[in-house]
Homo-oligomer: A and B are copies of this chain.
């Protein structure tokens, strides 16, 4: 590369520049998990295996292969195997023996039969349980974290909808989480509404509390305002360690931070972009014939308004292109 610009300490507390790399950085590809929200987790084995093999070849640290959804909440006749991630299904992808990439699943607070469905670590190929929670579900989430931790897993707590959490409640939540068994606390921009200045405030706050407790911080972004990648590297620069991404940005609505952009930024020589490019041309592009995702004006509008994207997702599914009418609808609703 022929870059010529200077490097300098422009953020007083930043943890590196684009020329350095930090060994604490972990990349988590959640293509199958987040993408599963579009197709009720009906990915074919060949696609899941391709993502798995790409993650291994690209040096991705964790692959999130799906959910641990409750079969009482989510009827198995409606969802594919990656809604539950039963051990047999996982083994069909990974084969026998240890996995070549660490595997995680997401367990939603109040929607997982965690006592039964999460096996002791010795009986599972999974490495990490990620508990997704809104702030009012934190007591449940903490019990899930304790359960997963006691069974031998790495754990993360993904605090969703952080853009609508009151500051003093966030402070209280973080203090509670700091005293829990959780290893990583995630900033989750569920609505794709956060700007870089807000990411800075949140990253500093999370890192301060988590750091004191010997925990790390992660970030999961959405691309409603074309800021998923920008906000991920903003967090990274300030010291966030766990970075979520998906290949081709595949994910519900506006999608996620693209793995290929993130690996292009990261300088640790263990990361390789070439296998991701191969996967994009062989598997993600063909998937675009079947699934629709990525930036679109309705997603932008809910992001700008700091609203859940559900109305935008409906609008895009209906092929609605009267953006003004959609804007008037969602602003009238406020």
Contacts and interface: CB of A to CB of B under 8 A. Distances in A.
A18 B306 contact: no
Contacts of A18: 195, 197-198
B164 A274 contact: no
A193 B2 CA distance: 11
Given A166-B4, A324-B281, A195 B233 contact: yes
Nearest to A165: B4
Contacts of A323: 277-278, 280-281
Contact of A230 (B4, B11, B227, B327): B227
A244 interface: no
Interface in A275-290: 277-278, 280-281, 285
Contacts of A321: 281, 285
Interface string A185-205: 000000001111110111010
B260 A300 contact: yes
A3 B161 CA distance: 11
Nearest to A321: B281
B234 A225 contact: no
A123 interface: no
Contacts of A228: 226
Nearest to A194: B5
Contacts of A198: 5, 18
Interface string A264-282: 1100000001100110110
Contacts of A285: 321
A164 B2 contact: yes
Contacts of A45: none
B195 A4 contact: no
Contacts of A5: 163, 167, 194, 198, 201-202
Return the 5 tightest CB-CB contacts between A and B, nearest first: A230-B230, A264-B304, A277-B323, A10-B200, A5-B198
18 contacts: A1-B305, A2-B164, A4-B166, A10-B201, A195-B233, A195-B265, A197-B237, A226-B226, A226-B258, A227-B230, A230-B231, A260-B297, A264-B300, A277-B301, A277-B323, A278-B323, A280-B297, A281-B322
